[in-house]
């Protein structure tokens, strides 16, 4: 996402060089440990602010090509409205929301269609009377308006009818090109939930015998003390998997499981996997 909009962010290289240095020499998808320090946190926060400012100060240009890029994940949907003029692409707005429990059980096609429908609805005031392209990385969606009524469900028909009032031009882009909407649709899949009392966990970590055992020489875990956003409380975390995973004392484990479950209302196996990705 930062790379995509780097050309319109003032001093982008200077702002982001610390983040790039963290992953320099590492292969894509490689599970490698990075040194997440205060300088990296500051660079990350400044980068987020610069993207928001780029969208805030961009004015719609009637001569620019307008595009709506959408995506869906297992937990959310998202859309990015942007304009391209003289080979320069500017974001005009971002949209994302979490899927409801019922929506999360829909097929991939239905979730991607919902992303288009919801994004068009969100940006309708900017899209009315304008020609624009809808970009998706889900190729079957590009044939949506070519299907006969017998092959579409009533819900799909309602969504397509609403979308068609604005545009029927849906085009395929690869997942690599769809980095911005893709990142926004997965916001709930990353990061640490904020509904947990991390200060209490930090105090409980201080004299936890089980954690001391895990920190022993026979363990494959790699512990570091890290201050995690947004709460900023220093916690003992494992970084052996490439993810920063705070250690959870026994008294807090049920609370953690319940919080993770409420994020997506997934089944027992999916919830367990989500907990393992974020905590130990």
Q: Are 140 and 102 in contact (CB under 8 A)?
A: no
The answer on 180 and 271 residing in a single domain is no
The answer on 33 and 93 residing in a single domain is no
Query: Counting Cβ atoms within 10 Å, is residue 141 exposed (0-12), middle (13-18) or buried (19+)?
Result: buried
In a domain, 21, yes or no: yes
pLDDT in tens, 122-152: 999 999 999 999 999 888 999 998 887 777 8
Q: Are 114 and 77 in contact (CB under 8 A)?
A: yes
The answer on 81 and 172 residing in a single domain is yes
Here the tokens at position 140 are: 């079957």
Beta strand pairing call for 234-238 and 245-246? antiparallel
In sequence order, what are the beta bridge partners of 203?
Answer: none
Strands (E) located in the chain? 65-72, 76-85, 88-98, 132-136, 170-172, 223-227, 234-238, 245-246
pLDDT in tens, 71-117: 988 888 888 899 988 888 888 888 888 888 889 889 989 999 999 99
- The CATH number of the domain where 148 resides is what? 3.30.420.10
In a domain, 76, yes or no: yes
Q: Are 82 and 89 in contact (CB under 8 A)?
A: yes
When pLDDT is averaged across residues 249-255 and rounded to a whole number, the result is: 87
The reported pLDDT for the residue numbered 160 is 94
The answer on 72 and 146 residing in a single domain is yes
Out of 157, 190, 223, a domain closes at: 190
The answer on 161 and 255 residing in a single domain is no
In a domain, 206, yes or no: yes
The answer on 84 and 123 residing in a single domain is yes
In a domain, 153, yes or no: yes
The answer on 203 and 177 residing in a single domain is no
Task: Pick the closest to residue 262 from 194, 198, 201, 202 (CA basis).
Answer: 194
Helix axes 12-23, 38-56, angle to 10 degrees: 140
pLDDT at 232 exceeding the cut of 60: yes
In a domain, 10, yes or no: yes
Q: Are 120 and 93 in contact (CB under 8 A)?
A: no
The answer on 29 and 110 residing in a single domain is no
The answer on 153 and 49 residing in a single domain is no
The answer on 72 and 159 residing in a single domain is yes
84: part of which helix (H) or strand (E)? strand 76-85
The reported pLDDT for the residue numbered 230 is 66
In a domain, 60, yes or no: no
Name the range with the highest mean pLDDT among 111-120, 170-179, 195-204: 111-120
Dist CA 167 CA 73 (whole Å): 23
Query: CA 165, 170, 176, 177: dihedral to nearest 10 degrees?
Result: -70
For tokens 């090509």, name the residue: 65
Task: Pick the closest to residue 96 from 193, 184, 188 (CA basis).
Answer: 184
Out of 190, 223, 255, a domain closes at: 190
What is the number of domains present in the chain? 3
**SS3 letters for 199-213?**
HHHHHHHCCCHHHHH
In a domain, 41, yes or no: yes
Give the residue numbers spanning the domain of 226: 198-277
The answer on 69 and 51 residing in a single domain is no
The answer on 205 and 185 residing in a single domain is no
Out of 154, 171, 190, a domain closes at: 190
**Alpha-carbon distance values, 262 to 75, 165, 246, 253, 265 (Å):** 12, 36, 19, 14, 5
Dist CA 14 CA 118 (whole Å): 36
Query: CA 187, 54, 79, 124: dihedral to nearest 10 degrees?
Result: 140
């Amino acid at each position: 996402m930062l790379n995509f909009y780097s050309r319109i962010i003032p001093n982008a290289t200077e702002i982001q060089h610390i983040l790039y240095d963290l992953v320099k020499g590492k292969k894509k998808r490689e599970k490698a440990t990075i040194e997440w320090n205060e300088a990296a946190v500051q660079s990350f926060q400044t980068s987020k602010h610069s993207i928001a400012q780029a969208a805030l100060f961009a004015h719609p240009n009637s001569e620019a090509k307008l595009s709506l890029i959408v995506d869906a994940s297992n937990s959310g949907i998202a859309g990015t409205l942007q304009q391209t003029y003289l080979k320069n692409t500017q974001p005009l707005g971002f949209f994302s929301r979490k899927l409801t429990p019922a929506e999360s059980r829909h097929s991939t096609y239905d979730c991607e269609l919902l992303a288009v429908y919801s994004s068009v609805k969100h940006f309708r005031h900017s899209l009315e009377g304008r020609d624009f392209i809808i970009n998706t990385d889900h190729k079957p969606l590009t044939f949506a308006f070519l299907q006969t009524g017998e092959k579409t469900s009533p819900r799909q028909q309602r969504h397509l009818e609403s979308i068609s009032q604005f545009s029927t031009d849906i085009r395929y882009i690869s997942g690599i090109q769809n980095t911005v909407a893709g990142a926004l649709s997965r916001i709930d899949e990353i990061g640490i939930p904020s509904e947990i009392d991390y200060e209490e966990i930090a105090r409980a970590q201080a004299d936890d015998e089980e954690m001391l055992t895990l920190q022993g020489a026979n363990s494959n875990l790699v512990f570091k003390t890290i201050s995690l956003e947004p709460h900023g409380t220093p916690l003992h975390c494992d970084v052996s998997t490439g993810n920063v995973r705070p250690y959870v004392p026994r008294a807090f484990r049920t609370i953690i499981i319940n919080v993770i479950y409420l994020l997506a209302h997934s089944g027992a196996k999916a919830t367990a996997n989500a907990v393992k990705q974020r905590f130990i």
